[in-house]
Structure 1
Amino acid sequence: MTALYSDDGLPPIRDVIRDFGLAAKKSLGQNFLTDLNLTGKIARAAGDLSNSIIYEVGPGPGALTRALLMNGAHKVVAVEMDERCIAAQQQIAAAYPGRLDIIEGDALKMDEPALIGETGDKTVRIVANLPYNVGTALLVKWLTLEKWPPWYASLTLMFQKEVGDRIVAAPRSKAYGRLSVLAQYRAHARRLFDVPARAFVPPPKVTSCIVGITPVAERASTPSQKVLEKVVSAAFSQRRKMLRASLKGLGVDPLPRLQAAGIAETARAEELTIDDFCRLARVYEM
């Protein structure tokens, strides 16, 4: 029986997984999307792609890659660590001549601007179903760049719902923490929609979600990212303790610094707003 083909003339993703022997590897955090309607929704959530170069991490058998190309992406640069998936990606590249670059390697070690090269008048966007085991580390890498605004215009990423909740969490909530501050102090972060476990092969044990993050220009009063990260990490390392105790890990007396920032020494990390943390970090810069 002849398999049904998708709108781009390529085999259904489930057939690709079967034909290329792409059993998901737990060690690589793999859970493959198979529904091109869903991946199309993710691609559209990233905005108008017609003038965009898309950087994709962990494309696997290529459901999202194909959706990005079908939705008009000027070009996709895909980084894949699993050599088994390269052949499946090459099949897509053949169907979209000149529009898909495939790089085998570890995304955590990539110099993305050098990899992408000259962009001309094109906008770079990151769109990815991130492997669960490196998703947070990649996000932190992209949020803590020294040069800001960054080389990308937006992030449209899939995470476990629990991680997505942490990214967009507000102060005084259980999910609010280091990742919330890093994602929100110089960017807008929002959860776009959930993705059920049944959308994956194999289905994970958790619900996933799509998060959109758009960088914003730093204000003149924005603190050094490195100083902010140290203050935030120290504050949340012992989140149940008052700041007068948790900030001692920075090696200096926190009391005069808290006073200078107008923050109560008895406050806890989860009570501080993004502006509070920025103000405190600026005091630590002095």
Structure 2
Amino acid sequence: VVSARRVSRGRVKTLLPGEDASDATDPEITRVWERFPKILRRRTADPEHIYHVHSAAVELLVKNVNPTSEEALIFEANPGPGVLTKALLEAGIPQLRVFEKIPVFVGHLELLKEQYPSQLDIVREDFLRLASISASDEYGVTERTSQLLRGVPHLPWKNEPVVRVVGTLSRKKEVTFLRFLLHVLPQRASIFAVGRIDFLLFISGLEYTYITSTNKDLRRYRGISVLYKLFFDIQVIDKVPRRLFLPLPPKWKPKPNNVAVDHDNLFLVRLTPRSDLFELLTPPERLLELVFFIRQNMVKRTAYVIPTLEKWIPGCGPRLIHCGVKVFSRMGDLSPDQMLTLFQQFSALSEYQDSPFIAAVTREMREEDPSYPEL
């Protein structure tokens, strides 16, 4: 369920017409970039990493981190200057594991480690490069994923999340990290092999539109919107101005496109894998087929449902109509639950297992994983 609450901007200053962004730079931001000028002071529209360094963001994260139990681990991805790291330790988080590769930041974090030796664990990895890490593991070159999760117990899927990942994502990391999560989650692979792991993340306005858009807004609604809602319980918590994160964005604003996007704020969301995820379909391995079904059919959201599915299984239209599918329904008109129901009806057809659809799924899966069984 996607929920939102009233946004509080607190003491954040609003830019006046004609005011230069640099004139409104918050003293907290200035103090941090003066300590790490080579890394953080340069403005950029497309940074590799974005760092939460201002109290407006840090206090919000600390307030909402809420470990599910005393045994639960908090992972902080790319802590950078360690502003949140210090705040979490001071708040009494019993087990905090941070992932940082940049040497100057690692050195600063090691000073915190001296103050909190039993609470803080430093791992010299970029957790947000999980796709690359998992790929190298699959080829047998490394075992880096298991190192990220060392000491984390394997728990039944319905248990409370065993790890909470906290971080701020640049657009580059959203595309690689979040898409990878959507890829491995239905397989219960990579980090999800240990059980449910949830995420407390600042994301861009663009990703926010994908996560929250519904079938009432065909311009913004995407296949990825359907996958997010089927795979995760989603909570939208708050938003914080982008100019309170480092590196600062450029003074010019992105050109508007056809989809209205809030580029001025980052949105704090909690993504928790659904406890009933592997009960949506029988057998649960069919989730991979569901992903392919959604991705293929949401490419053209204005396509009519019946003609589209008859390309996979000729003559299936009357049977689907008998099951309740409306004749003039378009793919983009379907809610996530309706899309799931449509797939359940489609996959229950007698021709399904021998259809070109299954052949296409198998072909794609084998391109990604040669060990995937052939038809």
Aligned-partner residue type, residue 166 of structure 1 = Y
RMSD between superposed Cα atoms in Å: 3.2
The residue matched to 2:344 in structure 1 has which SS? helix
Distance in 1, Cα, partners of 2:82 & 2:29: 7
1:226 and 2:288 aligned:
yes
Cα pair distance change 1:53/1:284, threshold 3 Å = same
RCO greater where, 1 or 2, for CA within 8 Å and sep 6 or more?
Answer: 2
Whether 1:211 and 2:269 are equivalent positions in the alignment is yes
What's 2:58 paired with? 39
Residue 111 of structure 2, aligned match among 91, 98, 103: 91
Q: Which has the higher strand share?
A: 1
Q: Tell me the residue number matched to 1:73.
A: 93
- The 1:220–1:110 alpha-carbon spacing in structure 2 relative to 1, beyond 3 Å, is same
In structure 2, the residue matched to 1:22 is 39
TM-score using structure 2 length: 0.62
CA contact (8 A) 1:156 1:212 kept: yes
Equivalent AA in structure 1 for residue 279 of structure 2: A
- The equivalent of 1:6 in structure 2 is none
Matched residue SS, 1:110: helix
Question: 5+ unaligned residues in a row in structure 2: which ranges?
Answer: 1-27, 135-144, 156-160, 254-262, 349-375
- Alignment CA distance shift 1:131-1:197 (3 Å): closer
Query: Per-residue displacement from partner, 1:224-256 (whole Å, max 9, x unpaired)?
Result: 32111111111211123223455578x544736
Is 1:103 the counterpart of 2:121? The answer is: no
- Pairwise CA distance, 1:59: 2.2
Q: Alpha-carbon deviation of 1:15?
A: 4.3
Greater Cα shift, 231-240 or 133-142: 133-142
Q: State whether structure 2 residue 217 is matched by structure 1 residue 173.
A: yes
**More deviation in 98-107 or 185-194?**
98-107
In structure 2, relative to structure 1, the CA distance for the partners of 1:220 and 1:18 (3 Å cut) is same
The yes-or-no answer on 1:147 pairing with 2:188 is: yes
The Cα of 1:166 is off from its aligned counterpart by 1.8
1:123 aligns with 2:162: yes
Aligned counterpart, 2:202: 158
How far, CA to CA, are the matches of 1:169 and 1:234 in structure 2? 19
Query: What secondary structure sits across from 1:213 in the alignment?
Result: strand
Structure showing greater Rg: 2
What is the distance in 2 between the residues matched to 1:238 and 1:192? Answer: 31
Measured against aligned partners, the alpha-carbon deviations of 1:45-94 in whole angstroms (never above 9, x if no partner) come to 13247543122323222233333333332223333354553333333333
**Count of residue pairs brought into register by the alignment:** 274
Please say if residues 52 and 75 of structure 1, whose CA atoms lie closer than 8 Å, have aligned partners that are also in contact. Answer: yes
CA 1:248–1:240: 2 relative to 1, 3 Å: same
- The alpha-carbon deviation at position 285 of structure 1 amounts to 3.8
Distance 1:262 1:115, change over 3 A: same
Provide the rounded CA distance (Å) in 1 between the counterparts of 2:306 and 2:330. 9
Q: Partners in 1 of 2:96 and 2:318 — Cα distance?
A: 51
3-state SS of the aligned residue for 1:128?
strand
What displacement does 1:220 show? 3.4
Whole-angstrom distance in 2 between the partners of 1:261 and 1:134: 41
Q: Secondary structure at the match of 1:155?
A: strand
**Distance of 1:114 and 1:246 partners within structure 2:** 45
Percent identity of paired positions between Structure 1 and Structure 2: 20
TM-score (norm 1): 0.79
C-alpha contact (below 8 Å) 1:188/1:215 kept by paired residues: yes
Alpha-carbon distance in structure 2 between the residues aligned to 1:239 and 1:83: 46
